[in-house]
Structure 1
């Protein structure tokens, strides 16, 4: 969940707003049959893998993908505002769709089975809709609200999101064949999806077990949300929002030197257990290293640094919002420097991306000799898509955000370059580096258009959105390549998902966040939003406008981010498990301490199962963690809707 990841799938949270966690371990990818040396891989695929006559992008696959994707988009929106992360979409969507259509087949509503390639096409639609919260969308737009206090109308924002996401889809066209067909980059999340679909449609009991676990966990998560958040005449008993931790060092007995800490219970500092299965479920989808790093960051931030800053008068109140206002600069600097440096170490991928980009102007395939000319997406769709949607994007930038036309025009080729880089890095590492590319774009526009906050925020949104959706489509196309699917139909399905996701995410956001005051507090800490806004504010007003203590915090955070990345890269192999994750540690600084504690508990449970009961972990960790996330988040949104429309006391 500020950044993007089991069983057959090691997909867990993807894209959130600052942490970059791989969706799937590339080393766990199963071997894939390959053509003999010297054999044309595309012709081999056409003759041995391609399922030309199978049902794929059917009307029911489109409708199911749009509906499931919209539901998961709502879930991701709630999770992102809570934690900065977002959950994986495609595998969960495939499990849900298979379970639903299998039930409908048994009830004889449908005569034909839901085929594997239908499920794959449905997953392309659902992922495009569900990931509409990523790519900076739900970081940049809320950040603009925080910085300016206003946003464009709902219809305009829906159009903005749809155009940017569609540009990302078209940006993937020129490099799909090179990355997926020829180079056969891993795209481990795509392999995970293909393997999951094979298991679902090949072993009914496996599918039923996963769907049962997903459903039961979702129901439990929804019940927890009702018991904690619902207040009405028909429910008089409520679960507590926080529970004290059974620590021997508490309140006035604290041996810590900070007078403020001794005068207040640890709960006031956020060092308490928050009974949220959403957070525990999120932790189950993290690595154990990220989980314990978050706990370490929370203890150091809220048990040591925050009380010291309160005693010094730099933090004016013991509230999450007041603490976060100061801590933001330390956490943001750590996340940005670690993200950019990690990305810099992938310079070979960047170089290969630019080389592929230069090849766009060379004709690689003659139609008369191209075995896949009737199956692959025509190369002409790339320039046509940008020729049609590019002017629309530039006009929207100028009209909605007062971005100069020249700056909007510059954003388009920059977005293409960033999209190509993001796609290759995702293919090689399964980590989409939108959280590194966003700050890079912010720095560029900070120099080109100094003081223009909207240009800084929304130009980064454009590049991040293009990069995410280009990488997302290539992940889906990888699974289609392995299953023998039609790439042209998958791309069309992705466009259906883009429309569905844009149509649901904007009105839902307006309902959950009626004004900027909602963001940055205990209900919606929105760490990704606050980091994005902080970077833009710093670039527009300059470091000299910050309080000297905040500047020192930012310097220390930036240096710590660099140090953690270098240690993780160069330390002896035996020492690496004990080096904190820069992403996890940085995230803990900008979210409540209670959230980090719950994340760590979830990660600890999953790690225990993987070590002691690997078969149970393989079968249960992903569906249970995803179910907790989806159930509590969707019920949380439903309760907020009831309160917003005065059907329930606030």
Structure 2
């Protein structure tokens, strides 16, 4: 009995230590995996595939943002979705090239950050650039709809590609003159935690671990499932809409009296 209990105790202690080691490895895996890896130069971070995926996702996210901007006016944070989809697409492409023996440069966290930053910047410009509010609200067409009297030419500004690009450059790059000094003071000198940047960094780091790569597949699958359901439901509503105030999108879910009172 004593030997048996002693063997059992040894086995249990060995089992506990093994699981403790595994738990510690899981907790520290994110830091330990990238501890020995060197940061690639900026030429290897700004790759063609990163900009191509950024362009495709930027267009898609800009359409989504404009749809929300013109309907609800509330835009959710797209950092997680941009980083997740950017990782999934580029990782799938690099795996395919690796199997074909054509992979020249592995996918890095820095590339993932470039994709996430470009996509969020595109969608941010689509929302804060005024495309759903004041930018086209200054046009002559809207001015004629809002008043019947004469219109002062100084109060209107018709959309033009040239001045709109210049305006968006000024609005978008204005943050460089405030963010760079604040980064030097707040983050580097005072070593304050930057919440959204830290959260994004932890998220992208977790994608590039073995456990995170498995989780990404499940997350992208769930994202694709609900996106497909939302798209099909929207298409169904659009298909049965003949005119304004018609179809399932205008169904009086709060009652006819509420519908009459808008």
Instruction: Specify the TM-score bucket, using the shorter chain as the normaliser.
Output: 0.5 to 0.7
For 1:53, what is the secondary structure of its paired residue? coil
C-alpha deviation, 1:223, in angstroms: 0.7
Q: Over aligned residues, Cα RMSD in angstroms?
A: 3.0
Query: Which residue pairs with 1:80 in the alignment?
Result: 69
Q: Which residue of 2 aligns with 1:241?
A: 249
Structure 1 position 127, deviation (Å): 1.8
What residue in structure 2 maps to residue 228 of structure 1?
A: 237
Query: Is 1:57–1:122's contact at 8 Å kept on the other side of the alignment?
Result: no
Deviation at 1:136, TM superposition (A): 5.7
Q: Deviations over 1:119-155 (max 9, x none)?
A: 0122222222110034463433144345566523133
Name the structure 2 match of 1:132: 125
Contact 2:53 2:90 in 1 (8 A): no
**Per-residue displacement from partner, 1:193-234 (whole Å, max 9, x unpaired)?**
1121122111221111111111111111111111111369xx
- The separation in 2 between residues aligned to 1:159 and 1:58, in whole angstroms, is 26
- Cα distance in 2, alignment partners of residues 99 and 219 from structure 1: 17
Give the TM-score normalised by the residue count of structure 1.
Answer: 0.29
Distance 1:217 1:173 in 2: 38
Contact 1:61 1:122 survives alignment (8 Å)? yes
Given candidates 215, 219, 223, the residue that maps to 2:224 is 215
Q: Give structure 1 stretches of 5+ with no counterpart.
A: 1-47, 233-237, 251-263, 271-650
**TM-score w.r.t. structure 2 length?**
0.66
**Aligned position for 1:101:** 90
- The 5 A counterparts of 1:626-637 are none
Alignment of 1:267 with 2:250, yes or no, is no
Q: Secondary structure at the match of 1:137?
A: coil
Alpha-carbon separation, structure 2, partners of 1:136 and 1:68: 18
Q: Distance in 2 between matches of 1:175 and 1:101?
A: 33
Residue 76 of structure 1 contacts residue 133 of structure 1 at CA under 8 Å; is this kept in 2?
Answer: yes
Change in 2 beyond 3 A, CA 1:268/1:183: farther
In 2, Cα distance between equivalents of 1:50 and 1:183: 27
Is residue 199–residue 207 contact of structure 1 (8 Å, CA) maintained in 2?
no
Q: CA deviation at 1:267?
A: 2.1
Aligned to 1:90: 79
Show the 5 A alignment for 1:148-159.
151-159=158-166
Larger radius of gyration: 2
In structure 1, C-alpha distance between the alignment counterparts of 2:39 and 2:91, rounded to whole Å: 23
**In structure 1, distance between residues paired with 2:175 and 2:59:** 19
Is the CA contact (8 Å cut-off) linking 1:101 and 1:113 kept in structure 2?
no
Q: Secondary structure at the match of 1:113?
A: coil
Contiguous gaps of at least 5 residues in structure 2? 1-34, 144-154
Question: Could you give the per-residue CA deviations for residues 565-607 of structure 1, whole angstroms, max 9, x where no partner exists?
Answer: xxxxxxxxxxxxxxxxxxxxxxxxxxxxxxxxxxxxxxxxxxx
- Compared with structure 1, are the counterparts of its residues 65 and 269 closer, same or farther at alpha carbon in structure 2 (3 Å cutoff)? same
Between the aligned partners of 1:169 and 1:85, the Cα distance in structure 2 is: 25
1:120 partnered with 2:100:
no
The Cα of 1:192 is off from its aligned counterpart by 1.9
What SS does structure 1 have at the residue aligned with 2:249? coil
If asked which structure has higher relative contact order (CA below 8 Å, sep 6+), I would say 1
SS of aligned partner of 2:67:
helix
Aligned length: 203
The structural deviation recorded for 1:156 is 2.3
